[in-house]
Amino acid sequence: MTVNQSEEKRVIWAWLPVTVLTAVFCCVLWGSASPAIKIAYEQFQIGPEDTASRIMLAGARFMIAGVMTIVFGSILARKVLVPRKTSWKNVVILSLVQTVGQYYFFFMALANTSGVRGSIINASGNFIAILFAVYIFRFEKMTLRKLAGCLVGFAGILLILGGGQALMDGGRVTLAGEGAMLIADFFYAASGCLIKIFSRDENPVALSGYQFLIGGVILTVIGTAMGGSLVFYTTGCALNLLYMGFISAGAYTLWGVLLKYNPVSRVSILGFINPVMGVLLSALFLGEGREAFSLTGLLALLLVSAGIIIVNMAKE
């Protein structure tokens, strides 16, 4: 047994039950994002057509998430996390792709589609990320296992969109809803590859925290310039906003800790829980049980989850 392996055995984060429970907790947080955002639209009284206020809400969320991530990361590192001078350019680039680009379309999508459909479609980012890593950034090679997983996953996405004929007829799919979620997933895939590159020279938690913060400021400035506003009608508005910030800060920080002390495949394969939680929590808090537990919804979720498991299966 190597020194690193023996150290992993002594670290609680490498203990399988802790790894699984922490990963499930992260997926519960990420899965709750869709219902939390849709509930926030109601609490702040932001209509689907109020793009400016929606952008401001996203900006406020990620400014909070950025501060929380920096604080959590600094506590874990036992020092204040500050990017190196040479890393600030990468932080800004990442903020424009991950926070500004991805979440502009993510928040748009959830204003125009259900939480169940959004949660399942959002999982396509896992498969698009593989295509980006293989064919654009060339980090890895395509294998039969990865191809099979992508095909299974995309089959689930196609099913929840209504099938090929529905897409051709423009049935239940809209550009502002399902289309925006797919665009957000392309930004997600690109940001994942950029994080892989940038984290070679920078602490990934610091990278995430400061790009959240900068991206949140940019979104807030854009929303304000467009005439948006956030009115805190009740205490629930503030509590929900703080929770949405914690979703990103808590999940990204804990997931990063798991990746540090565990094999990547052990952690990544548990990502299939993410869309499952998104669907279940949307059914619970948004009253979308009929769609969530329909034959189409369950089969689409099964295919997407199976696809995530297949692409992350470790080779023997």
12-48: pLDDT as tens digits: 888 989 999 999 999 999 999 999 999 999 999 999 8
What count of Cα atoms within 13 Å lies in the side-chain half-sphere of residue 282? 27
Within 10 Å of residue 116's Cβ, how many Cβ atoms? 29
Which residue do the tokens 């969530």 mark? 292
Q: How far is CA 173 from the centre of its chain?
A: 21
Cβ atoms of residues 56 and 220 within 8 Å = yes
Is the per-residue pLDDT at 164 higher than 90?
no
What CA–CA distance (Å, rounded) separates 316 from 155? Answer: 27
- The pLDDT value given to residue 9: 52
R_g of the chain computed on alpha carbons: 19
Closest by CA to 230, choosing from 91, 41, 27, is 41
What mean pLDDT, rounded, does the chain reach? 90
pTM: 0.89
CA distance 72 to 64: 12
Torsion angles phi and psi, residue 286, rounded to 5: -110, 0
CA-wise closest residue to 311 among 162, 140, 63: 140
* Other C-beta atoms lying within 10 Å of the C-beta of residue 85: 7
pLDDT at 2: 47
Check residue 69 and give its pLDDT. Answer: 95
pLDDT digits (tens, 9 = 90+) for 191-247: 989 988 998 888 889 999 999 999 999 999 999 999 999 999 999 999 999 999 999
Q: Do 187 and 101 form a contact (C-beta atoms < 8 A)? A: yes
Task: For residue 300, count other CB atoms closer than 10 A to its CB.
Answer: 25
* Angle between helix 115-122 and 144-160 (nearest 10): 160
Q: For residue range 95-140, list pLDDT tens digits in order.
A: 999 999 999 999 999 999 999 999 999 999 999 999 999 999 988 8
Average pLDDT over residues 257-270: 83
Whether residue 248 has pLDDT greater than 80: yes
Quick one: pLDDT at residue 167? 45
Rounded CA-CA distance 116/298 in Å is 10
**Per-residue tokens: 263:** 């094999």
Contact in structure between 250 and 29 (CB atoms under 8 Å)? yes
Residue that is written with structure tokens 């854009």 in the block: 222
